[in-house]
Chain A
């Protein structure tokens, strides 16, 4: 099915390889390390409690747990949307616990982020939405014209480049978001419930795409509560409950 959906994927992915080579030459860049991390919201609500986690470069880790167990808080800490109240967060050897606001953009250019609600700009086309990430980072027009078609081919949306988000299916929209997350050639991709709004077929496509990106060496952190997805992956599963890590297995299953 994947081959049908993405007939040109293997060949086209070669275009993306140069960035991946760079990443593989610096394997630590994809490493994530959380040490005794807690997040306490005022006045006294703990979203995370003493979480320690080490994610190796190139790993595919699913963070699972019921609503309100701190999954999203943990994901947000990885791209400095949230700061830990206690403990340390290190990304690719860079301690971002007390990252300066002026450094946050540079961290975010190394981490791709995918959300359940897509966060696409409705008045921009697929091409423009993906290009937007490069535009705001000061990348030149020539480079944009070169990179955007490449990533659109990877997510198999090259024929939809001039459509608007409303003209796309949910799965296609999510693939645009993934393409946007990939334009900076991130070492880490954080996906927070990326299949939450999708049907089974589209969910499958997105997970296959994430697996493919992971095969190129990008560390994937998948936050989900989709049992089928987690069980079909046969990858590392971290279970959160009440802000604690209650289970961390190399080839885990969804168990709550």
Chain B
């Protein structure tokens, strides 16, 4: 059995080597397919991270009128903290607000001078409210319309993060569908190429196969090299993709992290944890598909 396995492997190797260019095209197609799938996966990770990153920064600044007692602002903060949609509320006293204003406009002489001219603190207390998700935004704003605080509030300032997130989602969804389509097309082409490779392999080896059958080779012995060929192609493609993707993400991650204020996107970490499983699944799925394609080609062209 060991001898036969070795010989079947040898024949598979010969098939690959003798049709080197065809093998190269086959593996290239499989590599492209896996590449597009892995890029989709990375895109998913980055999108999720981007959404999370933005959602963490959703905040509504609520400015109370000048002279509003601090207790009112603290009461409003307590009320907001009781809402499940609110992640965090920061209370800013008028003094802190003034201080922050000074710091922000430290270089602007005119503003600082006009502040001096007023001669008193023009700021009231303020609240910085962070919601859990972008969708919770409108609820938080509605809550602030509560008559209890409504009259004390001078201004509610927020950027419409929900729209931004929605735009990110729409764009990435579009890219995702496009990527999925490309992956599927690559997959179909790869399957067809495998089918054709086996067909050509059978054609090239028809004489050898005929003699094999004549001198008593079993079905298994005749068919197995073609199946092995498909498995070897899948393995080679997975190995190439892994060998390119892993160093590429390690190199790219710091650049992507820069978009997130230096916080790690976690792609390298994800591949470190799940990479083995991920590439094993990709290899198995690809090999299975190729085996099916090979069997179809053999059923059609190999008369054993």
Q: Which of B32-40, B106-114, B168-176, B205-213 contacts A (4 or more CB under 8 A)?
A: B205-213
Question: What is A's interface to B at a CB cutoff of 8 Å?
Answer: 79, 101-102, 104-106, 108-109, 113, 119, 121, 132-133, 135-141, 180, 184
- Taking the closest CB of chain B, its distance from the CB of A151, in whole angstroms, is 13
Chain B residues within an 8 Å CB radius of A184? 215-216
What is the number of contacts between chain A and chain B, taking CB atoms within 8 Å? 53
Q: Provide the bound-state CA to CA distance between A74 and B86, in Å.
A: 90
Chain B interface mostly: helix
Count B interface residues, CB 8 Å. Answer: 18
Known interface pairs A121-B207, A136-B7, A138-B3; A102-B215 also in contact (CB < 8 Å): no
- Taking the closest CB of chain A, its distance from the CB of B198, in whole angstroms, is 19
Q: Provide the bound-state CA to CA distance between A102 and B211, in Å.
A: 17
Q: Provide the bound-state CA to CA distance between A140 and B5, in Å.
A: 12
Q: Which residue of A lies closest to B218 (CB)?
A: A105
Q: Which residue of A lies closest to B222 (CB)?
A: A136
Question: What is B's interface to A at a CB cutoff of 8 Å?
Answer: 1, 3-4, 7, 207-208, 210-219, 221, 304
Chain B residues within an 8 Å CB radius of A121? 207-208, 211
Chain A residues within an 8 Å CB radius of B210? 119
CB-based contact B219/A102 at 8 Å: yes
Chain A residues within an 8 Å CB radius of B217? 105, 136-137
CB-based contact B216/A136 at 8 Å: yes
Q: Provide the bound-state CA to CA distance between A184 and B216, in Å.
A: 9
CB-based contact A132/B211 at 8 Å: yes
Q: Provide the bound-state CA to CA distance between A155 and B88, in Å.
A: 95
Chain A residues within an 8 Å CB radius of B3? 138-141
Q: Provide the bound-state CA to CA distance between A113 and B215, in Å.
A: 8
Q: Which residue of B lies closest to A106 (CB)?
A: B216
Instruction: Among B207, B214, B216, B219, find the residue whose CB has the most chain A CB atoms closer than 10 A.
Output: B216
- Taking the closest CB of chain A, its distance from the CB of B215, in whole angstroms, is 4
User: 6 shortest A-B CB distances, which residue pairs?
Assistant: A136-B217, A133-B215, A109-B216, A108-B216, A138-B4, A105-B216
Chain A residues within an 8 Å CB radius of B207? 119, 121
Chain B residues within an 8 Å CB radius of A106? 216
